[in-house]
Amino acid sequence: MNAPPEFDAPFRARLRELLVWRRDVRRFRAEPLPAGTIERLIELACLAPSVGLSQPWRFVIVEDAARRAAIRRNFESCNAAALAAQDETRAGLYARLKLAGLDEAPIHLAVFAERDPAQGHGLGRLTMPETAEYSAVTAVHTLWMAARAEGIGMGWVSILDPKLVAEALGVPAKWRFVGYLCLGLPENQDDTPALERAGWECRRPAEAHILRR
């Protein structure tokens, strides 16, 4: 057994700094990332925890122009519906938000979860099968942090119809859509969430989310 590494105070401070500067990027520089970048980031994402060691995450690197265009049309349709659903006080602000980086980001990555993978032999999923999706989300977050540590920005596009995404990418029917990720070099960087800067919402302190019993 290898001796565990020691994560000292300076490392923990840097880790907190990484978390603070992890942003949902929507504006990218068009220049490509070095070859092998996304494969390396996916390898790190696969170090994430998963229920029953099932590793239910499935990654689709979307390179085909026609498939990307289908995703873009999907977003446009869903975004128009989301705009129409806003009340009068929010509609104008919503219309000004930049909610996708689909046009500029050099890398598109779709993440799915296989709900009942053979790996893991069902451990931990009997009463909560949705833990397969939860596991895929931990992989997304791990990838996000690894990307940010390299100065790579990531945006999670959630305004999509999951069924149409699956159809556009031709994935197995048993895969559940988790998220569509855009990755590339960020056009600009900030330690404050873009939605907070735009006045959409503000981050609340940790105490606001704690309940004691």
Q: How many CB atoms lie within 10 A of CB 96?
A: 10
Alpha helix segments (H runs only) across 54-192: 65-84, 88-96, 131-149, 162-169
pLDDT digits (tens, 9 = 90+) for 138-180: 999 999 999 999 999 999 999 999 999 999 999 999 999 999 9
Q: By the 8 A CB rule, do 18 and 145 touch?
A: yes
Q: Counting Cβ atoms within 10 Å, is residue 11 exposed (0-12), middle (13-18) or buried (19+)?
A: exposed
pLDDT digits (tens, 9 = 90+) for 37-57: 999 999 999 999 999 999 999
In the three-class reduction of DSSP (H, G, I as helix; E, B as strand; rest coil), residue 50 is classed as: coil
Q: Considering the domain 32-188, what is its CATH architecture? A: 3-Layer(aba) Sandwich (3.40)
What are the residue ranges spanned by the domains of the chain?
32-188
- In this prediction the pTM is 0.92
Largest CA distance in the chain: 61
For 115-153, the DSSP string reads: SS-STTTTTT-SS-TTHHHHHHHHHHHHHHHHHHHTT-E
Name every residue whose Cβ is closer than 8 Å to that of residue 41 and which is 6 or more positions away in sequence: 143, 146, 147, 150, 152, 183
